[in-house]
Amino acid sequence: MRGIYLVGTDTEIGKTVISAALVYILCKAGYKTAYFKAALSDAEELNGKLIPGDTEFVCSLSGIQEDYEKLTPYIYKTAVSPYLASKIENKPIDIQVIKDKLTKLENEYGYVLCEGSGGVICPITDVDNKIYTLGNLIKDMKMDVILVCRAGLGTINHTVLTVSYLKNNGIEVKGIIVNQYEENRLCKDNINMIKKMTGIPILGVMPYINENKKNFIEELKYNACNIFKADEIAGLMKEV
């Protein structure tokens, strides 16, 4: 079983879009791949059941047919971080449950792509003044990371600091994916500086796509197939 964690430098940078793109090309190429997101907030309620939008989107695009609760153990309605939502809704997160669910997926699928909730230092739990972060989970599960960053203003600082934190905590960054790219001097220079300052390979550059466009899904699939190589992504996944 092979897996990797996809982590973002910030919130709202398109981690789910990139996750969907990668899972899509892996499944399309014949790699039996699952998607996993430990906790999700801001879920919509439908017929008394919470629907994890990110998980639904990835499954819809890639063709994965699984119960959402199997892929996302903790689902919250409140539109704040999953950690805070768990407190507000009085539904605490159990780290062992997350680990067990992920291990079960790893045993059923050949490949698992995990998407982080927020950045690597985002807390998942705070029990008895012991804060457990996304980074702790990644390290405990012995996984490597693909880092997603935005192309625009501020990304150099966010990306270099995140890479530094991961390296200092013994987590290997296998590559960087630049999202929301626009054809201008700023974005080009940002990518060049990130390569120079981190020494991490750029796995792909995804152009900005308006999610409200009528042909958003078709454009995302087209870009995914033309930007990423399934064999390369699968090869980055560490055996766990």
Residue with tokens 């067990």: 100
Those residues whose C-beta lies under 8 Å from the C-beta of residue 99, and which sit 6 or more positions away, are 137, 140, 141
Q: State if pTM tops 0.85.
A: yes
What confidence tens digit (pLDDT) does each residue in 11-29 have?
889 999 999 999 999 999 9
Quick one: pLDDT at residue 240? 80
Q: Which residues are catalytic?
A: 37
Q: How many domains does the chain have?
A: 1
Judge whether 74 lies within some domain: yes
Is 126 known to sit in a ligand binding site?
Answer: no
Tokens encoding 82 = 């999953």
Judge whether 225 lies within some domain: yes
Judge whether 239 lies within some domain: no
Judge whether 240 lies within some domain: no
CB 113 within 8 A of CB 22: yes
Domain harbouring 79, CATH code? 3.40.50.300
Quick one: pLDDT at residue 212? 85
The mean pLDDT value of the chain amounts to 96
Instruction: Identify which of 57, 95, 53 has the alpha carbon closest to the alpha carbon of residue 73.
Output: 95
Q: What is the band of 118 on the pLDDT scale with cuts at 50, 70, 90? A: confident
Quick one: pLDDT at residue 11? 85
Of all residues in the chain, the percent with pLDDT exceeding 70 is: 100
Judge whether 237 lies within some domain: no
How many other CB atoms are found less than 10 A from the CB of residue 132?
Answer: 17
Judge whether 24 lies within some domain: yes
Tokens encoding 50 = 């919470």
| H/E stretch holding 205 | strand 202-207
Instruction: Identify which of 237, 240, 217 has the alpha carbon closest to the alpha carbon of residue 24.
Output: 217
Over residues 94-120, the mean pLDDT reads 95
Residue with tokens 């796509």: 209
Those residues whose C-beta lies under 8 Å from the C-beta of residue 116, and which sit 6 or more positions away, are 5, 6, 7, 8, 15, 37, 122, 134, 138
Judge whether 35 lies within some domain: yes
Judge whether 238 lies within some domain: no
Query: What residue numbers bound the domain in which 91 lies?
Result: 2-229
Instruction: Identify which of 161, 72, 85 has the alpha carbon closest to the alpha carbon of residue 116.
Output: 72
Quick one: pLDDT at residue 113? 99
Is 88 known to sit in a ligand binding site?
Answer: no
What confidence tens digit (pLDDT) does each residue in 196-228 have?
999 999 999 999 998 888 899 999 999 999 999
Of 240 and 37, the structure prediction assigns the larger pLDDT to 37
Q: How far apart are alpha carbons 78 and 74 in whole angstroms?
A: 12
Over residues 90-102, the mean pLDDT reads 97
Quick one: pLDDT at residue 221? 98
Q: What are the DSSP E strand ranges found in 90-166?
A: 111-115, 123-127, 130-133, 145-150
Is 128 known to sit in a ligand binding site?
Answer: no
Is 194 known to sit in a ligand binding site?
Answer: no
Q: How far apart are alpha carbons 61 and 117 in whole angstroms?
A: 20
